[in-house]
Every structure is written in C-alpha cells, then in structure tokens.
Structure 1
C-alpha cells in the first residue's frame, strides 16, 4: 500500500494463497494500482472475494496491467463471468492473458469472446490450453478472433477438442492476411487427418509470419504430412520451432518431412520428432540435413524414436561434421550402443561443440560407456549445464568418472540427474563437491532410487554448508 512502491512484476505461482490472503493482497493492489504490469497468480485458489477484488482492480482505469496469468486457479463459471466483465471495461492495456488449466467451457468462452471482438482489445498472447472446450467453444474463440485479428501473435488451444467447426474457423483466421500469428500450439487436440489437411492448407496460404508450430499428439496422416512438407519447402515460410512429438509419423512420412526441411533449412532452430519411428531412410535424411552448413539447429529431440545402434552411428557421425550450433540434444530411450556412444563422445570432445544440455536417460549406458563419455566431457567441460544419465546402470564406477569432470575448474554443470543408476556409494561425489568449485555452479542433483546407504550422511553434511545452494532429490 506504500505509494512509493513502484513494483512492476509480481509472481506468486503455487503459493497456496487462501481466499482470505487473496482478499488482503488484491485490496493492497487496489490502493496503489498504477505501476504493476505483470501479475502471476497461477495455481492458487483465490476464492469469490479474491476474484471480486481482482476484478475491481482490472476495471480501474489507472491499472495498466499488460500480463495476467491465472493458470490452474480453479476458476468457476461465476468467477469467469466477473473476471471477463471487468476485462471488458478496461481492455486496452492487456497484452497477455493465460486462463489455461481452468474449466472455462462454452458458457464462459462466450464472455471471453466479447473481449476479443472489442476493437480496443490488443491482446498479443492468449492461453486457453486444457480448458475443456468443445467444438462449440473453440469455434466461438476463433470466430471472435476473426473480427479483430491484427494484434494476436501467440495462441494456445492445446488439450481442447477443436472439432470440424473449430478447425474450419481457425483456418479462416490463419488465411486472413491481417492475421500475423507467430506461435500456434495445438498439442493433443484430437485433430484428424482430414482436419490436419485443412489446417496445413490454410497455413500454406499465409506462411510468412508463423515461427513456432506444435502439432504434437495428433494423427497427421499421409495428407497432413504431405501438406506440412509443402509448407516447409516454401521459401516464405521461416519456421524456427517445429514440435511433432508422438504424431504416429511413419518412416515414409519422416522421409517426406526431412526431405522438405532439406530444401529450406536455414531458419529452423528447434525440432522435436520424439515418439515417432524414423526408420533408416528418416535417419539418413535427417543426417543429410544436419550436415548442411546452412542448417543451424540448436535443439534436437529424438526421445523414444527406436533409434538402433547403426542409426545412432549415422546420426552422431553427422553431428560431428557440423557441431557449432547445437545446444540441446535428447537421445533418451534409444539404444546408442558402443559405436553410438563413441561417436557422441567424439562430438563432445570437439572444441567447436558448445552443447549445454544432454539427455541420455534410458539409453542402456554401461559403466564402460560412461567412462568413454566422461573422458570426452573432461576434455571440453566448460559449456555443459545439464546432464541426464538417469535409468542407466552406471553404478559407482560411473559416478567416480563423473567426479573427474566435476573436479575440473572449467566445469560449470548446473543440473545432474542420476535417478535409478544402481549407485550405492556417493562418498567420492561429495568429496568432489566440497573440494572443488563445482558446488558454486551445481544447483540440482537427482539421486532418487539409489541405495546410497551410509554415504548419505556425507551428502547431508555438504547440504548443511552455509555456502551450499544445491537442491538434492
């Protein structure tokens, strides 16, 4: 309530705020509203009085909030009515609104649509994922956006059933040349092959603005993949992030997709093909793409792609030839084999390799393979920030080798995951942490499901150190 307070950003996500506390908080904000620009109350149950006060605040013309995040706030139909009425009366400043994870349903959506249609509404980011919206609700939202399309840049409708009408309306919106959407999230929307065909056709007609597309956990089918590939080949299309996790993509479809990327490689920075079976031809095409010096991929996710040792050898050989851009690599849930681990190690030793995040969970890595990997990391340790070796039987020998990496003064590892690795003794690990600079950097250490026995006490002693900021699971 201090008038000298000029707070602009307040994040209280997951703070278990009660209705009474919410009332006190929103009352305080009402008394000094002019500076706050970013408010995050996610994962709190504000209650009726809290929402009423928040709504009074939103109606205040002095309150110029730009970002409001109410993810998973258990918003009821009545509260949503109060909230949207308030937003309607003062819509011009709000740029980001996240109502994801609330049961918005169709009746509340109609209220929200009134705001979206308002010519004073200049919303740029709208989050409505997992709101239990049906075809009718999604159709209402996309129809409303059609009447005021020019400001929106990010739209998240993930986890809702778009249906035929919702997809049709969304497509009309995407074809509008005034609509300059940059990020579209449609993860787990039960999109059919026919709907995917319509959607990708719409994107083809107005491709120049979209930078991020997430179609994960939808069945694209042959026609959807073909149309998406045509889109990727379009030189006007400058996609930077493409997420196709668990899209039931076949080897043939993967070949078509990667062939398309080969013809227009320069913009893509993040690619997620996790949970799809790439096959020999898909891996070969992806490898050709990775060798292209115009391809500057920074993040590659291939979790559970049934990559064989032979395919891993091809893939890692390719990465070795063009290593300078890659920052994150996820090969979890694949069988790398000796040759794959050896090639990956060669990549990590390359001084041009500036990998920051490496995920090798569930890769059947042995103690011997762990030695090869850690030897490589020792020769080029300064860039890596996150390493996940969980669900591999690296045992105590593997941990001892990791300690050699941690002892290196150039090592700046921040997160180390060793969940269920067959470890029984962490004494060498705790000694490495206490006797080197590693503890200055390491923030998270996951040792769950390891029977570390008596050596656990040594780890507890490290955590008691007043200079220690390490979090251990």
Structure 2
C-alpha cells in the first residue's frame, strides 16, 4: 500500500494541526458525552484527510482525459492535409491469436506469412485485444508481459491506440489505474541520456508528478510499441540490477530491468513488434506471445492487371518490381510532377536509404537519415503522401516525424535495387566500404569488381546474418540480374545500365553452399535464390527421387537432403500426411531421417513412423521438432517401435504441453 499521505497543512506534530481545544467544565463528564467529543475530533481530522486524498483522483481523471484526447482520432493524408477521423468509427478488430508454442520466432516475415497460409483457423486460439492480459481457462499463471507481433502495416499501433482509448473512456480494463504508452521511436530520441524511470515518466506525462507510482497502490501498464524501431541496445545479459524508480541509469538498463521485472515488478508490460525483431526480447521475459493477422489486398490490383496481360509474376523479384512500377505510376494521378522534380532520382535516393539502413538493422528513419542520402525532408513528405504504399511519413505520439517503408520487404527490394545499380552504373560493390574504395570513387576510377563477385559476397553476408535480415535482399539482388527483370525497369529507371550476365558461376556457388550442411532455414532460402535465378536443376533431381521406388535405398548428400526438405515443405500432400517409412531404408536409418526432416515434421498434421526401429536419438529429434510447434500435429503413429524409457519420457513432455492438440496416438 501507499505510505501515509503528506498533508498540505502543517505537521501533525504541531498543535496547529489539531482542532481548537475543547474546554470541559470541572467535574464528571458522562461517557456518551466524551464519545461525541472524540467523534467530532475524528470527523474534523477525516475531513482534512479526504480533501488531501482527492488530489490523486483528480490527477488520474486528468491523465485519462489527456490520453483520450490524444488517441480518439487518427490523422490521414500528407503533413499539409492531415484529416482527423474518429478512431471508434473506423477501427476494425484484428484477428489476434496466442502463439502456438508460446516461443518467440525470429523467422522472416515473408516466410511466416507462407507458413501461416498453410494453417487452418481451428489451430488458432483467438484473443480479443482488450483481453490480452487475461489468462485463458487452462492457464493458471497470471499474465504480466505480452509480446504482440505482426507484419508491418497490419495495425499493431492502431490496436494499441484503441486499447488505450477504450480504457480512457471507461469501457475496458478499469482495474488498471495508469497506462504509459512509450513508443520506441520516442525512446530512441533519449537513448544517450541517463535518468530515472520517474524522471522519464514526468517528462512524457507531467501530470503524474503528484502520484506515488512506486508505492504499489496503482496498477500500471507500460506499452512499448514498435520494438523493430528500437535503436537502444537492449542487453538482457547485463548484470546491472535496477530496482529503484528514482535511481538514475541509462535508458537501456532501465528498459531491460523493467521488462525483466526487477523494476516495478507488479507493472504490466505490452510490447509490439514486427516478427523480424521479436527475438530481441528473451522468452523468459515474456508470459504470452500473440500474433496479428488480417487479409492482405495490397497486391490485388497488380495481380489483376498482370493476369489480364498474361504476365503473372513467377518470382518474388518480378512481383515486387511490378509493384514498384504500378505504385510510381499511380502517383502521377496525384499531380506528382509539380511537387517532386525527378522521379528516378528520388527512387535511387530511397534505394540508397533502404540499403544503408537495412545493413544497420534499422526499419524506422529520422530526418538526419534522409539528409545523409541527399533526400530533402520536405520532398520526402510529399513523396510519402503521394506514394503511401511504398514510403510513409508518420508522426510520433510526443515528438516529431519519422519515416518508414510500409513493409520490410519493400525496403529489402529497394536495397537490392541500389546494390544492383551501384554495380551496373559505377562498378561498385556496396559491401566494400573501405577508405581505399572511397578514394577511388572520388577519382572516378573504375573498380575491379564483377557481378559474380558481388553476388558471392552477398551470399556470404546473408549466410553470416544471425537473424536472416539479408535473406530477402539476396533473393531480390539475384533476381534483378536477369534480363527479363531489367527490361521491366527500363522505362522507370532510364539511366540504369543493362548488363548481360552468365548465371552459371553463382548457381554453382549457391549449390556448393547448400552442400555445406547449413541450417534448414538457410538452405531453404538458397533454394529460393535458385528459383529467382530461374534454375531448378537440383529440385528436378529431388522430385524425380521422391517419385521413384528407390527412395530409402539411396544415400543423399547434404544438398540433396536440403532440396528434399524444400520440396516436401512446398507440398500440401506431404504436410497433410507424412509417412517417413518412404525415406527409411538401408542407406537412411529412422534416426537420420528424423534429424534431416525435422523442419518438415514440425509442419506436418499426420505423422506415420510405425515399424521404423527408432532409438532414443531419434526420439530426441522428434521431440525437438514437435516441441517447436506442438499444436500443429493431430495424429502420431509410433506403433511397433521398441522405444526406450528415456524416449518415452521425452515424447511425454510434448504431450503434457498445454499447447499440444494431438488427437490420436498409436
């Protein structure tokens, strides 16, 4: 509870703080008379207490009112023509589900969308946005921290605003006394400061200076929106422990201790993020992971126009190149030419911004980032208003403007376009930023670099990335080397030089990398790269193998196993029912197959492993696959296998998982 209130009157130790003394007549005073006297004294004291305690209630009312005014409207249009619209009139409820495994995934957004498209609605556990801190019937542990992830532009920030608005209007979550929305884009501006949590809150919410937030009397919710925009280094392994809200510390120490529960352990925490950045928060700091989904119609016009012309894109590079062309054509209908002088120049500058910020891991940009790429801030505001499906200007809740691409994949496509043009026009490898290279550029010297060297360097950089943030960039870069995609861009980018390219060298290099026992995720992305290069030789080889009767009797190389995983993941037939007996034989034991096909197993709904001679080693691989996606599998056949006690115990741990939805077990 909160400590005793401080009175505006003089100290209780002073006589002046008491009512005027009551003078008694000499002689006996009846008990009932003394009771009335004491009662009158207590009443006078309580009147003072009541008027002093009403101050926090007044502050809370003002605080709610301010948040309601801040979040009741959304503004649309350019910075010069921002039209406020009532949020309650246009809000559409997102489909929010609890993550199947409860774990945080760092898989790329595009691959998560591909995976989600294979799932059925019955596998999800829907949760209303206003109920994200309420435990489900089967959950006993209270929910303190929630991480909500969803692709860019899906509506995470708007959902946060609606949550706050419903609370401020007294509709939902009235057990919470204070909600502090602290977007990362605002926190970024304070990343080099040292201050206490109370000081930070007083800067953002001056009206709370009258409240004793640390007392425990108030139930507090912190909302950190846009983890993917965070430029503060979050070191959860740091030994620095912060427990006092009035103690000064760096912003990163303050945030990590708040999320770990050292600072204000009773406070609720809500973090939103794009999937690509979700793993910045350790799983042990998150009690619930939720995901946002909504039907996507962004590419509907592009696909319908392409279909009418008989040119349906066959690769990701073709699709995004069409998208860029169509969006830049749409802007001409908005009187664009009078406001932005050089269309091609602006696209190249945005492409440069895309690449430079992508390699730094930044998805949100500020005015200084634009200036470094030669982009006029006023011009960028106009472009964002006219080309809102490519580049977007946004306003922070408390500070100034920020900029972003509407989706990470658009930034990756433009970054690849910058890398490609830098080579074709200037023979420059964008990954080589050495001082010697800068000197040569100033002298306009041609640099000794080939397109194949650029591509090989890009492959190496992507493989070294821990979170796969260059995977899609690599696919786009390789795809842009094809003459068909260069022809698509020739009307839009008239100064881009076309180059003839023999792809055999990079195809051979990628196949070599696939054979090096990479992780399944890395191998799969390299197969996508081969697809962008229009090379399917390895896939055809594996597809022939799968259809043959020699499956199980053939010894596969590492690259062939990777190709097999890719083929199976692309097949609904095998994901609906995966019979591993087909791949087990003299050359491939059950244990080896379980290890090699682990990525396919975790996406399968029915798994047949009868009479496979599985050992404890195989049970370890099987358990690992099932644990990573426990709610997906519905039928498991392990009949006629001599599984040991340790293997049984491992499988039992999966069955005991509250997310497990297995229907039949043999």
Both proteins in one fold, TM over 0.5: no
TM-score normalized with structure 1 length = 0.37
**Larger fraction in helix:** 2
Q: Which of the pair has more CA radius of gyration?
A: 2
TM-score normalized with structure 2 length = 0.29
